[in-house]
Amino acid sequence: MTHCAIMARIVVMPRWDPRAEDRLRDAALELFLEQGYDSVTVAQITERAGLTRRTFSRYFTDKRDVLFAGSERLPPALAEAVISADDALSPFEALMTALADTGELLAGSVTRSAERRAVIKASPELQERERTKFAAVTDALARALQQRGSAEAAATLLARIGAAVFQTAFECWADQPDAGFSAFVRDAAAELATSLTTVTVPAAPGQA
């Protein structure tokens, strides 16, 4: 049976798929850092990973996608957190709680996030894709808020506000990873509340 163990080890490494996706992602990130995103070809990535172009397409829809694997877990996680938040909380409170809790979990699991962010920051094309991924967050939040009972329009607006808060908090947290993520969510929410409370109610035209 010894050769079975050997077989198993061989299967893990070579071109036969097991770690194919991971290897592609690693190879891609390395190359993007070395040469810049634009000048890297898919062929280079697959070559470094010891795979073929065709295999790349099996795992990723396009070149951009290789940097965003795993990001599809964030929207459902946030939605779940919103839905399962205490019923006594207002929609906005439920939203903020969900952001703080979920971000806390997720923030730690981002692999190589610093390098990844550097690559994205240098490429407009990747920023575009990042916005798309983030739009899924907004959509998921909107659906979750509706499920909690918010009307569609209100849910959409609140979801966008939530996305804004999350993004802002995430950026702050990226600069100071030691502070808890949820603290930054609270900061952003507080900041927002302050900005709004200084508002005089917009008067209708003609009204004094």
Partner DNA sequence: GTCTATAGGGCGATAGAC
Partner DNA sequence: GTCTATCGCCCTATAGAC
CA dihedral 140, 64, 48, 16 (to 10 degrees): 40
Residue 9 or 177 having the CB closest to DNA: 9
Please name the residues in contact with 94: beta carbons below 8 A apart, sequence gap of 6 or more. Answer: 82, 85, 86, 145, 148
Residues in region 109-128 near a second copy by CB under 8 A? 124, 127-128
Please name the residues in contact with 118: beta carbons below 8 A apart, sequence gap of 6 or more. Answer: 33
Nearest to 100 by CA among 3, 185, 12: 185
Min CB(155)–a second copy separation in Å: 10
Q: Which residue has the tokens 């070809």?
A: 41
Residue 2 or 87 having the CB closest to a second copy: 87
Out of 164, 176, 177, 179, name the contact with a second copy by CB under 8 A. Answer: 164
203: which DSSP letter? P
Residues in region 170-199 near a second copy by CB under 8 A? 171-172, 186, 188-193, 195-196, 198-199
- Contact positions vs a second copy (CB under 8 A): 90-93, 96, 124, 127-129, 131-132, 135, 153-154, 156-158, 160-161, 163-165, 167-168, 171-172, 186, 188-193, 195-196, 198-202, 204
